[in-house]
Amino acid sequence: MFEYCTDPGTLSQFRWFSCFLTTGVHMSFYISFFKVLALLAITAPIALSFGFFGAMAARSPFLPLSWLGRGYIANVRGIPDIAFFLFFVIALDQAFEWARHKIKCPDWDQPIRQGADFIVCKAAKLPLGTSPEWMHESYGFFLATITFALVFGAFAASVLYGGMRAVPHAQIETAEAYGMSPRQTFWRIIVPQMWVYALPGLSNLWMVLIKATPLLFLLGIEDIVYWARELGGTKTSKFTAYPHGDWRMWYFLFLLVFYLAFTRLSEVVLEKLMTRLTHGQATSGGEAQRKATV
């Protein structure tokens, strides 16, 4: 990046580090932090949507829909996250390629499943072999986002379902006494108040989601964990311009500080949101606020 970086062997310690920390691979390391933030920003609302509709389905009086919602919550929550991630990403990728294969290669006369191999025509591959690298990375990120949303959507559904059931039944009866339909009661009474009861659980879920982002590494995505291991480890031929010892501890220490700072910021924001939502509510938080103002 700097003009004096042409010959690293002649540099002083300060200049050596200034060159080392601004190489192209380090820029990829810095960009990977934005990948993590993008994953959180995209996954959180999608997972919350899955959770909301899952909770609605679970409390539905229509039994098949209720079974579907309860089954989604129970099955996804009952599978270890790593096992679900490793399975579902492969399954989702093969499902997309199978659908494309049926459309683009209708004359294919060989079985797609050949023993343990999954073989489709070249036109059905996702992405195509001729696609640029950024498309391969974007596709992998897309699969990871959907998988994260499905997993954490099931946990969010459980939390929201509990929040819906925590709304005082007397308020629901009052709404019915005023002539509100079940649909009006749900959207005007239950939904606005369930967030107060669900927010503590959703806050914990957000923290777990933050801590789960290193699973991107297991999905083959070049995230912050991948680059910390690569850049901190003893150099291979790919990084011979700046050889050094095993610095992985320092890189992972930097990740530790990053996650601690981010979770602390999240705690501050969530505390303010909880204070806002519990204001005037008949909850322990609302009661504490009333006593504080007396």
Give the CATH number for residue 285. Answer: 1.10.3720.10
- What's the structural domain count of the chain? 1
Please confirm whether the linkage preceding 127 is cis (ω < 30° from 0). yes
Largest CA distance in the chain: 84
Share of the chain above pLDDT 70, in %: 89
How many Å apart are CA 43 and CA 82, to the nearest integer? Answer: 17
Domain that holds residue 264: 3-293
Q: What's the mean pLDDT when you consider all of the chain?
A: 83
- pLDDT surpasses 80 at 181: yes
Q: What are 55-96's pLDDT values in tens digits?
A: 999 988 889 999 999 999 988 888 887 888 888 888 888 888
Q: What are 115-135's pLDDT values in tens digits?
A: 777 888 888 888 877 778 778
